[in-house]
Structure 1
Amino acid sequence: MTRFTIHELPLSGLKVVERQNLADPRGFLSRMFCAEELATAGWTAPICQINLTRTIQKGTVRGMHYQHPPHAEMKLVNCLRGAVLDVAVDLRSGSPTFLHWHAEHLSADNRRSMLIPEGFAHGFQALTDDCELLYFHSAAHAHGSEGALSALDPRLSIQWPLEITEMSERDRLHPRLTDQFTGLIL
């Protein structure tokens, strides 16, 4: 029995994963990850790192983060508490959707996850107070390979649904795109 329903998204390789709960009067069981089932969605590496974030204030934006090759990573982003608008930007050099973005509403209630392939930047906006996200990563964080874009870059024109109430100083200072940025070569 499959525990996931996989949905293709407009940007090649980007997927939504819906988890199927097994429920009874005691509560439910929800499988968060299964290498065998998610391989059909493109997850082909071991999980190297699992991270949990908590965002306290509605309207907060985090991102847009990525890692440069050879430390590029896949991410499976799950919302465990609250709701977020989860955003991925295609940074793959030569991709027909280069610098296009796509967003999905992830929440504790809808049991949807975003599977983000290598070569994408990722960020989100908290749509409720007290959000928790659980990330599965295919590569360990490599400080020297960090990359980021400005979540407010007019070239990206990400449509954040709420007024931005909070953003780290580090995220505010991420560079805006220039014509010299030709993407990531994976």
Structure 2
Amino acid sequence: MRARALAVEGALVFTPRVFPDDRGLFLSPFQEAAFTEAHGGPLFPVAQSNHSLSRRGVVRGLHFTVTPPGTAKYVHCARGAALDIVVDIRVGSPTFGRWDAVLMDQRDHRAAYLPVGVGHAFVALEDDTVMSYLLSESYVPENELALSVLDPALGLPVPRGIEPVLSERDRTAVTLAEARRQGLLPEYARCREIERDAASARTAPPPPPHPSQPSQPSHASHAARRRTERPLP
């Protein structure tokens, strides 16, 4: 699996090896060892997985999560093709306002890691496009916000020749500048703190048993004690 950094600080794209044969093909869209090497630590504990089906032209985004709690994502296209877009909306980030895009299709089977606090969108390029996500936090509707994917100041690469199909929420979403004026955007320092806390919790050793709680004997030890406590014939 190959990995490279995207233009948004902390975001990564992964390209797995694909093994075709006369039955079809096999691939692994996520590999812990490759992710840890590229990211510098393991993937977040997964709280939820999502699956979306979209027809050609559907645009989902630009979405982000109120931070805290914030949400990191690992995204891949399980069927069809999509242009996946990540935007740095973290105030104070060295790459604030920048974006990058990844073509996800059934030829290269790329996947992307999106750190806490960034904006995410995708454009379905084919009918029946399936996007799959791993999330670091459970979905809470009131924590999910949207920015305009058509914000001219961002200049996101929505392909020409495709009439965008947007939800009402996404069609009426505010621009990046307006969201910043309203104080809606995540703070970069807080996002990084959340990621560090999650990494520490993932790598911390389990707590030792409380000394006042004696360990419970197993079923086998109970059975052994019953055998030894029987009177001799």
Q: TM-score, normalised by structure 1?
A: 0.88
Judge which range, 109-118 or 176-185, deviates more. 176-185
The answer to which structure, 1 or 2, has the higher relative contact order (CA under 8 A, 6+ apart) is: 1
Match of 2:30 among 24, 28, 33: 33
RMSD: 1.8
Equivalenced residues, count? 182
Q: Is the 8 A contact 1:71 1:142 kept in 2?
A: no
Q: Match for residue 112 of structure 2?
A: 114
Q: Match for residue 21 of structure 1?
A: 18
Q: Is the 8 A contact 1:60 1:166 kept in 2?
A: yes
Q: Match for residue 147 of structure 1?
A: 145
Are 1:7 and 2:4 an aligned pair? yes
Match of 2:90 among 89, 92, 110: 92
Higher relative helix content:
2
Unaligned stretches of 5+ in structure 1? none
Map residues 68-83 of structure 1 onto 2, 5 A cutoff.
68-83=66-81
Partners of 1:148 and 1:49 lie apart in 2 by 20
Higher relative strand content:
1
- Give a deviation string over 1:8-56, Cα, whole Å, max 9, x none: 1222111111111244443333223233432233353111111111002
Q: Is the 8 A contact 2:71 2:135 kept in 1?
A: yes
- Name the amino acid aligned to 1:17: F
- Name the amino acid aligned to 2:186: L
Q: Percent identical across equivalent pairs?
A: 34
Q: Match for residue 62 of structure 1?
A: 60
Q: Is the 8 A contact 1:65 1:121 kept in 2?
A: yes
- Give a deviation string over 1:66-109, Cα, whole Å, max 9, x none: 11222211111111111111101101121121121111111122
Higher alpha-carbon Rg: 2
Q: Is the 8 A contact 1:5 1:18 kept in 2?
A: yes
Shift of 1:180: 1.3
Partners of 1:68 and 1:39 lie apart in 2 by 26
Partners of 1:116 and 1:175 lie apart in 2 by 21
Q: Is the 8 A contact 1:61 1:164 kept in 2?
A: no
Judge which range, 144-153 or 158-167, deviates more. 158-167
* DSSP-derived class of the 1:135 partner: strand
Partners of 1:73 and 1:158 lie apart in 2 by 22
Q: Match for residue 102 of structure 2?
A: 104
Q: Match for residue 175 of structure 1?
A: 174
Shift of 1:181: 5.4
Shift of 1:123: 0.5
* DSSP-derived class of the 1:64 partner: strand
Q: Match for residue 224 of structure 2?
A: none
Judge which range, 45-54 or 33-42, deviates more. 33-42
* DSSP-derived class of the 2:169 partner: helix
Q: TM-score, normalised by structure 2?
A: 0.72
Q: Is the 8 A contact 2:99 2:156 kept in 1?
A: yes
